[in-house]
Amino acid sequence: MFPVAASGPTGEPVRSGYARLGDTAVVELADVSGLVRLPDDRPAPLTATSYGTGEVIAAAVDAGCTRIILGIGGSASTDGGRGMISALAGEPHPHSGNNSALGDEKLPETGASLAALRGRLEGVRVVVACDVDNPLTGPRGAAAVYGPQKGATPEQVVRLDAALTEWADLVARETGRDLRDVPGAGAAGGVGFAAIALLGAELRPGIDLVLEMVRFGEKVAGADLVVTGEGALDEQTLHGKAVAGVAAAAVGSTAGGLPVVAVCGVNKLAPEQLKGIGVAAAYALTDIEPDVRRCIAEPRPLLEALGERIAVEHLTMTRREKGIA
């Protein structure tokens, strides 16, 4: 990890950083501009900003990284990514004056600042890991869907959506492209929009990027069984989350496909739903221990018990089918 001193979502200094492999840097928005960085866990729906994310990206670029993988999600702000753009363009932090994170609905002094932005990112490829398909504005947009999770009242959601609309209008005028309705533009309070509209970023499902980086296809070559999992298997799992992504990759990794089972805290999906995404079976901690608090406090013995069941019910059977003792 390469440490970076940056600004948290409400302007407080935080220690964040980026991971690096060769010329590729991995930046996690949540670590610098996320809900976890709010002082005293107090939401700031109108003033939280993504400025710190821009600072971390800038540090990676200035250190010579030419490929930035930006993981977005868990953000504290709904600023349309304006804070991130301001930092990359060398503009002052929005809290350094009287402006809120909503700003005054203008690009950072357009001309010179946009030239500085383009100059800094010349030759740099930005890839955004994004697992949602919300547009920037409207009833499925960043403010309407995620604003309440960040503490926004109904009145503030309306204000935020209006500000995002003005921001999108201005970016469209300046760039000649209107990308507010691109799936994923509303991710992380609109950071997805700023990334594709002003950084020329490519949006990709996070699980696809992770599997590519760890060379999943090579790792499972010759495997008998793939075990994956997440905290809860539910409707969100069916729409591109890790378990679905791993299952899809495993099924396509060999001619016959690899069997996949999932381990989770709780399973809310029916067997047919699991089979629909390529998961043969799910094993939940709550199948053994109904008390969720104990599952959280003492998961190890429960996981060991599930591991034994999986070995007997899937791994041993699979090996017998292959004629392996």
Over residues 156-191, the pLDDT tens digits come to 999 999 999 999 998 998 889 999 999 999 999 999
- Asked whether the predicted pLDDT for residue 103 surpasses 70, the reply is no
Q: Where are the domains of the chain?
A: 2-204, 219-321
- Asked whether the predicted pLDDT for residue 53 surpasses 60, the reply is yes
213 Cβ contact list (under 8 Å, min separation 6): 69
Measured on CA atoms in the order 22, 194, 197, 5, is the torsion positive or negative?
negative
Helices (H), 252-289: 271-276, 285-288
Over residues 228-258, the pLDDT tens digits come to 999 999 987 887 678 988 998 887 765 457 8
Average pLDDT over residues 144-148: 94
Element (H, E) at 26: strand 24-28
Type of residue at 129: A
- Asked whether the predicted pLDDT for residue 110 surpasses 70, the reply is no
Instruction: In whole angstroms, give the CA distance from residue 136 to residue 96.
Output: 26
Task: Write down the pLDDT at residue 324.
Answer: 53
94-101, long-range: CB < 8 A, 24+ apart: 94/49, 94/51, 95/10, 95/11, 95/47, 95/49, 100/46, 100/47, 101/46, 101/47, 101/48, 101/49, 101/77
- Of the chain, the percentage scoring pLDDT greater than 70 comes to 90
- For residue 70, which of 5, 14, 26, 11 has the smallest C-alpha distance? 26
Type of residue at 230: E
Sheet containing 260-267: which strands, arranged edge to edge?
A: 226-233, 260-267, 281-284
Task: Write down the pLDDT at residue 99.
Answer: 41
3-state secondary structure of 5: strand
Over residues 62-79, the pLDDT tens digits come to 999 999 999 998 999 999
- Of the chain, the percentage scoring pLDDT greater than 90 comes to 67
Task: Write down the pLDDT at residue 223.
Answer: 85
Instruction: In whole angstroms, give the CA distance from residue 194 to residue 29.
Output: 13
> Degrees (nearest 5) of the Cα angle 105, 106, 107?
135
- Asked whether the predicted pLDDT for residue 60 surpasses 50, the reply is yes
- Asked whether the predicted pLDDT for residue 300 surpasses 90, the reply is yes
Task: Write down the pLDDT at residue 97.
Answer: 46
Task: Write down the pLDDT at residue 111.
Answer: 55
Task: Write down the pLDDT at residue 98.
Answer: 40
N-terminal to C-terminal alpha carbon distance within the chain: 44
Contact present, 175 and 193 (Cβ < 8 Å): no
Here the tokens at position 48 are 């939280």
Task: Write down the pLDDT at residue 222.
Answer: 81
12 Cβ contact list (under 8 Å, min separation 6): 37, 39
Task: Write down the pLDDT at residue 254.
Answer: 59
Q: How confident is the model at residue 213 (pLDDT cuts 50, 70, 90)?
A: confident
Q: Among 3.40.50.10240, 3.40.50.300, 1.20.140.10, 3.90.1510.10, what is the CATH number of 2-204?
A: 3.90.1510.10
Instruction: In whole angstroms, give the CA distance from residue 182 to residue 134.
Output: 8
pTM above 0.75, yes or no: yes
Q: Which of 13-17, 29-33, 89-93 has the lowest mean pLDDT?
A: 89-93
Contact present, 30 and 73 (Cβ < 8 Å): yes
- Could you give phi then psi for residue 193, rounded to 5 degrees? -65, -50
